[in-house]
Chains A and B, each alone.
Chain A
Amino acid sequence: MLKISNFSKTYSNGHVAIANLNLTVEAGDIYAFIGSNGSGKTSTIKAIVGIHDFDGEIIVNGKKVNRKNEIYKKDIAYIPDNPDVYENLTGFQYANFVSDLYEVEKNIREEKLEYFSNLFEMKSFLNNRISSYSHGMKQKIVIISALIHSPKLLVMDEPFVGLDPKSSYLLKEEMRKLARNGGAIFFSTHVLEVAEKLCNKIAMIDNGHLIVEGETTEILNNSDGLEQYFMEMIKK
């Protein structure tokens, strides 16, 4: 579903955010991307979804990530770490706007919007301007809008920040459902307990370099919990 080969990202000021990253996310995977602040997680995620330029190759569902051909983006849904959305739109208008860009059919849109807005308890706020939403509600409207077009690959940057416990649980359930249905999830997180319980695969990066990649069960077999393992790895 996602294949990253020889990936590097260097900023215009010369800072190398990530160097020579290689990893593969298969269909059905829930893949956690773990690392300290500034280790290159967000840079990688932004390159996958088309926000950043990069060196190397990224393939999403068989399609090459290419600035000049945006068609690969139809298979992706992106949820950023900060829910910066058009505040002058209502939640309903925003969700529709995103669906229009993904060319989602009317009946699917109606059904999914109804389902997700009820699930995340946003139905009664859809007609309000986003400027009146709390941080968590903005996060929810971004999640709802991202899921309407039934993405094959869900890319998320710290998705649980700002969500209430119930919404966090519901999002985890949706992630499991998507993976069961043949999709894949690739997300960054600092909450190692979530990665431990939710993900079947984990990658750890430090200072722009991949330090560990593999099945969660294998990693946990060789350590006393993910937190302990992470601390040992970054000390090396």
Chain B
Amino acid sequence: MKNTIILVKNQVINLLNIGNEERNKKETLIYTSLSLFSVFLLVCLYNFFSIKSIIEMGLYKYAVSYGVSISFFFVVLATIFKSNSIFFYNKDFEMLSSFPVKKSEIIASKFFILYLIDLIICESILLPDVMFLVFKQYISIELFFIFLVTSIIIPIIPMCVASGLAILIEMLGSLCKRKNIVNIILSFLLFMGYFIAISMNRGVKYSALEKIIENKLIKIFPLAKLFYIGEGLYIGLAIFVLASAVIFGLYCTLTMKNYDKIHLFLNRSFQGKRDANLTIKIKTPFRALFEKELRRYLGSSSYVINTALGIMVLCFVSCGCILFGISNIKNLFGISSLELILTQYGSLVIASFLIMSCTTSSSISLEGNNLWILQSSPVSIAKVVNSKIAVNILIHSIGYFFAVTMIFLKVKLNVIQMILVLVVPICYSLFISVVGLYLNIRYMKLKWNDEISVIKHSTAAILTNFIAIFMIAVPVIMMIFLNLSYQITMLMICTLMLIICKKLYQVTLSANLCK
């Protein structure tokens, strides 16, 4: 246990980049804590208002159940994309194995780290939920504490389910030569399948809001039913605790006891043909850097899934709309005014998907110990910077192509709307690519053990996501509070973004990658 605590402490320091001597420790700690706290606060606020509206509708019975369902969804989403990286692709496993610590203690420490991250997600959703209920006296203090204690157990089931599925997907991928591509496709299909299953309303015609909400909650997480406030709540909670214990036990038996076998299976690599004909193709330095960057990107399924999920969804929905018509997709997802949204705000919808996908915010950090290759090579920083931006823009352009084609084919637009659909996403794409890279150079994290700590949890990645959300919210806020037209708002936002983009690009070009 003592060793596990030491290992966890060490991993937390590494995760938060506190021990990095390359930058001022205090500054890094302040920025990381601030950005994490801002995200936590933002999620809390969002959930607070969601719960408030559910309670105001007189549906307080479902309030906790709603929180449990939502946290299940987000914990699954967060875990499925990072558990393998923490458990099986972590660089420190071999090093730790050489120390006088048991393998079970190393695995336990990794499980605990994953649990801590998931617990933060869970609490950011559930805390405002139960606090609101107790302040408004819908539940007693006693019940508040019971919910608080139970919330510690809530991440267990989604964690085990998601981690188990992630291992299964990786194992299936490991059977194929193109392991990463198979992993990406399977993860995406699983995610979309789950999303469609939640969204599908076919054959169900509920008139009462209560029934609709109940139906959705159970679809997201069937065990959320056990958290309905009312009679039988205590029995429900007891069943939930029992179910968590059973699933956790099953997970430990199946995966952790077979850890070595899974580790070996996932890390095997296909050997190339020894007598293969190796043809040399000459490329310009930029093209070589670009292709290397693209290979690096596609070579890591967690990098792709964590940075291109929005683009994949955009492509998927756009293709769906082209093939089956907007009305069918609208019914499938239950968005009644989809056509109207696309006509009036189509450009912002596409831009929102693009801006949430940023590869550049971690692309320099991911060079890690390989950065010496770029530093010692006769290539200018402009070529390095441009190659990294180009990869992000290439990924964006795939989503952009499908979405713009869909809107042009399926939605009637006037000339101004057409121009906006073409121009606004490009501005957003350029903006986030440059901002992400700038932040990555500013908060470079070259010492890491697992990619996820850079792709998702680094200061640069968190700040970039924060800015992306902000840039989606700003035009909406401007339209509501300043009463501006959509066209004027987007013109102002895009001009501002391009100016910032140009300034930051210039700063990035004069950046110093040398220590």
Contact A88–B278 (Cβ < 8 Å): no
The answer to whether B373 and A86 touch across the interface, beta carbons within 8 angstroms, is: yes
Residues of chain A with a CB closer than 8 A to B378's CB: 70-74, 101-102
A-chain residues with CB within 8 Å of residue B273 when the two chains form the complex: 127
- The interface residues of chain B lying within 8 Å CB-to-CB of A85 are 370, 373
B372 touching A89 by the CB < 8 A rule?
no
Nearest chain A CB to B195's CB is how many angstroms away?
30
Q: Which residue of A lies closest to B374 (CB)?
A: A101
Within 8 A of B (CB), among A106-125: 106, 109-110, 113, 124-125
Q: Does B271 contact A (CB under 8 A)?
A: yes
User: Are A128 and B271 also in contact (CB < 8 A) when A13-B21, A50-B376, A84-B372 are?
Assistant: yes
A84 and B369 contact, CB distance less than 8 A: yes
Chain B 366-391 residues near chain A, CB threshold 8 A:
368-370, 372-373, 375-380
- With both beta carbons as reference points, the residue of chain B lying nearest to A142 in the complex is identified as B373
Judge whether B514 and A70 touch: CB under 8 Å.
no
A53 to B512, CA, bound (A): 9
**A113 touching B280 by the CB < 8 A rule?**
yes
Q: A53-B515, A100-B282, A129-B269 are in contact. Are A73 and B295 (CB under 8 A)?
A: no
In the bound complex, do residue B369 and residue A51 qualify as a contact, i.e. CB atoms below 8 Å apart? no
Taking CB atoms, residues of chain B closer than 8 Å to A82 are: 369
Chain B residue numbers with a CB within 8 Å of A44 are none
Q: Which A-chain residue is minimally distant from B22 (CB atoms)?
A: A12
B269 A132 Cβ-Cβ under 8 A: yes
Set of chain A residues within 8 Å of B269, measured between Cβ atoms: 129, 131-132
- Decide: A100 and B283 in contact? CB cutoff 8 A: yes
Interface residue A76 (Cβ < 8 Å from any Cβ of B): yes
Question: Which residues of chain B are within 8 angstroms of A101 by Cβ–Cβ distance?
Answer: 285, 288-289, 377-379
Chain A residues within 8 Å of B292, by CB:
86, 89, 97
Specify which chain A residues have a CB less than 8 angstroms from the CB of B300 in the assembled complex.
Answer: 88
A35–B274 CA distance with the chains assembled, in angstroms: 42
Asked whether A51 lies within 8 Å of B514 as measured between CB atoms, the reply is: yes
Known A97-B292, A103-B285, A109-B280: A84·B377 in contact at CB below 8 Å: no
Task: Decide if B272 touches A70 in the complex (CB within 8 Å).
Answer: no
**B299 on interface, CB distance cutoff 8 Å:** yes
Q: Does B284 contact A (CB under 8 A)?
A: yes
User: Do B274 and A124 touch (CB < 8 A)?
Assistant: yes
Asked if B370 and A50 sit within 8 Å, CB to CB, the answer is no
Q: Indicate whether A80 reaches chain B with its CB closer than 8 angstroms.
A: yes
Return chain B residues, CB-CB under 8 Å to A131: 269
Which residues of B are found within 8 Å of A106, using beta-carbon distances? Answer: 280, 282
CA distance A129 to B515 in the complex (A): 30
Contacts of B289 on A, CB cut-off 8 Å? 101
Closest chain B residue to A117 by CB distance? B278
Contact status B375-A51, CB under 8 Å:
yes
Q: Does residue A21 face the partner (Cβ distance < 8 Å to B)?
A: no
In the complex, what residues of B have CB within 8 A of residue A73's CB? 376-378
Assuming the contacts A127-B278, A128-B272, asked whether A88 and B295 have C-beta atoms less than 8 A apart, the reply is yes
Q: Does B211 contact A (CB under 8 A)?
A: no
Of residues 27 to 49 in A, which have CB atoms within 8 Å of B's CB atoms? 46, 49
B377 near A98 with CB under 8 A, answer yes
Closest to A145 in B: B373
Q: Does B9 contact A (CB under 8 A)?
A: no
B264 at the interface (CB under 8 A from A): no
* B296 proximal to A (CB < 8 A): yes
- B288 contact from A52, A71, A100, A124, Cβ within 8 A: A100
Interface assignment of B480: CB less than 8 Å from any CB of chain A: no
- Nearest-CB residue, chain A, relative to B515: A52
| A-chain residues with CB within 8 Å of residue B275 when the two chains form the complex | 124
25 chain-A/chain-B pairs, Cβ below 8 angstroms: A11-B515, A12-B22, A46-B372, A51-B372, A53-B514, A67-B512, A70-B378, A76-B376, A78-B372, A80-B372, A84-B368, A84-B370, A97-B288, A98-B377, A100-B287, A101-B288, A106-B282, A109-B280, A124-B274, A127-B273, A127-B276, A128-B271, A129-B269, A132-B269, A132-B271
